[in-house]
Amino acid sequence: MSVLRRNQMNFSCWFSSSLCFFLVLQPGTYLYHAHYGMQREAGLYGSIRVSLPEGESEPFSYDYDRSIILTDWYHASTYEQVAGLSSIPFVWVGEPQSILIQGKGRFNCSTPGIQASLCNATNPECTPYALTVIPRKTYRLRIGSLTALSALNFEIEGHNMTVVEADGHYVEPFVVKNLFIYSGETYSVLITADQDPSRNYWASAKIVSRNSNTTNGLAIFNYYPNHPRRNPPTVPAPGPHWNDNEPRLTQSIAIKSRQGYIHPPPQTSDRVIVMLNTQNNINGVRRWSINNASYNLPHTPYLIALKYNFTDAFDPSPPPDGYDFANYDIYSVAKNVNATTSTGIYRNKFNTTVDIILQNANTMNPNNSETHPWHLHGHDFWVLGYGKGKFDKTKDPKNFNLVNPIMKNTVPVHPYGWTALRFRADNPGVWAFHCHIESHFFMGMGVIFEEGIEKVGPLPKSIMGCGDTKGFHRP
Ligand X SMILES: *[C@@H]1O[C@H](CO)[C@@H](O)[C@H](O)[C@H]1NC(C)=O
Catalog residues that contact ligand X under the rule CB under 6 A. 95, 108, 110-111, 116-117, 120, 122-123, 158, 160, 175, 177, 213, 243, 276, 278, 283, 292, 308-309, 323-324, 328, 336, 338-339, 351, 367, 426
- Residue 122: which of ligand X, Cu ion, none does it interact with, CB under 5 to 8 A by kind? ligand X
Give the footprint of Cu ion on residues 319-378 (CB under 5 A): 372
Nearer to Cu ion, 208 or 435 (CB): 435
Is-contact 345 313, C-beta < 8 A?
Answer: no
Q: Are strands 45-51 and 2-5 parallel, antiparallel or unpaired?
A: parallel
Work out how close the CB of 402 gets to Cu ion at its nearest, in angstroms, rounded to a whole number. Answer: 28
Give the footprint of Cu ion on residues 441-460 (CB under 5 A): 445
- Residue 372: which of ligand X, Cu ion, none does it interact with, CB under 5 to 8 A by kind? Cu ion
- Quick one: how far is CA 444 from the chain centroid? 16
Work out how close the CB of 48 gets to ligand X at its nearest, in angstroms, rounded to a whole number. Answer: 28
**Residue 421 sits in the site that holds Cu ion (CB under 5 A):** no
- Residue 462: which of Cu ion, ligand X, none does it interact with, CB under 5 to 8 A by kind? none
Instruction: Give one DSSP letter per residue of 221-257, joined into a string.
Output: EEETTS-TTPPPSSPPP--S-TT--HHHHHHHHH-BB
Work out how close the CB of 316 gets to ligand X at its nearest, in angstroms, rounded to a whole number. Answer: 14
- Residue 244: which of Cu ion, ligand X, none does it interact with, CB under 5 to 8 A by kind? none
**Residue 437 sits in the site that holds Cu ion (CB under 5 A):** yes
Any residues with CB less than 8 A from the CB of 431 and at least 6 apart, and which? 13, 15, 376, 377, 378, 379, 448, 449, 450, 451
Q: Which of 108, 139, 150 is nearest to 126 (CA)?
A: 108
How many residues does the structure list for the chain? 475
Work out how close the CB of 296 gets to ligand X at its nearest, in angstroms, rounded to a whole number. Answer: 16
Work out how close the CB of 407 gets to Cu ion at its nearest, in angstroms, rounded to a whole number. Answer: 22
Amino acid of residue 327: N
- Residue 339: which of ligand X, Cu ion, none does it interact with, CB under 5 to 8 A by kind? ligand X
- Residue 437: which of ligand X, Cu ion, none does it interact with, CB under 5 to 8 A by kind? Cu ion
Q: For residues 182 and 70, what is the distance between their CA atoms, to the nearest angstrom? A: 10
**Residue 434 sits in the site that holds Cu ion (CB under 5 A):** no
Q: For residues 215 and 99, what is the distance between their CA atoms, to the nearest angstrom? A: 7
Nearer to ligand X, 61 or 283 (CB): 283
User: Exposed, middle or buried by CB within 10 Å (0-12, 13-18, 19+), for 177?
Assistant: middle
Q: HSE (CB half, 13 Å, CA atoms) of 19?
A: 9
Stretch that binds Cu ion, among 159-167, 259-267, 405-413, 429-437 (CB under 5 A): 429-437
With the CA atoms of 320, 383, 279 and 377 taken in that order, what torsion angle do they form, in degrees rounded to the nearest 10? 70
Q: For residues 37 and 86, what is the distance between their CA atoms, to the nearest angstrom? A: 12
Q: For residues 147 and 72, what is the distance between their CA atoms, to the nearest angstrom? A: 5
Work out how close the CB of 159 gets to ligand X at its nearest, in angstroms, rounded to a whole number. Answer: 6
Q: Which helix (H) or strand (E) holds 253?
A: helix 246-254
Work out how close the CB of 269 gets to ligand X at its nearest, in angstroms, rounded to a whole number. Answer: 12
Work out how close the CB of 165 gets to ligand X at its nearest, in angstroms, rounded to a whole number. Answer: 19
What are the residues binding Cu ion (CB under 5 A)?
Answer: 372, 435, 437, 440, 445
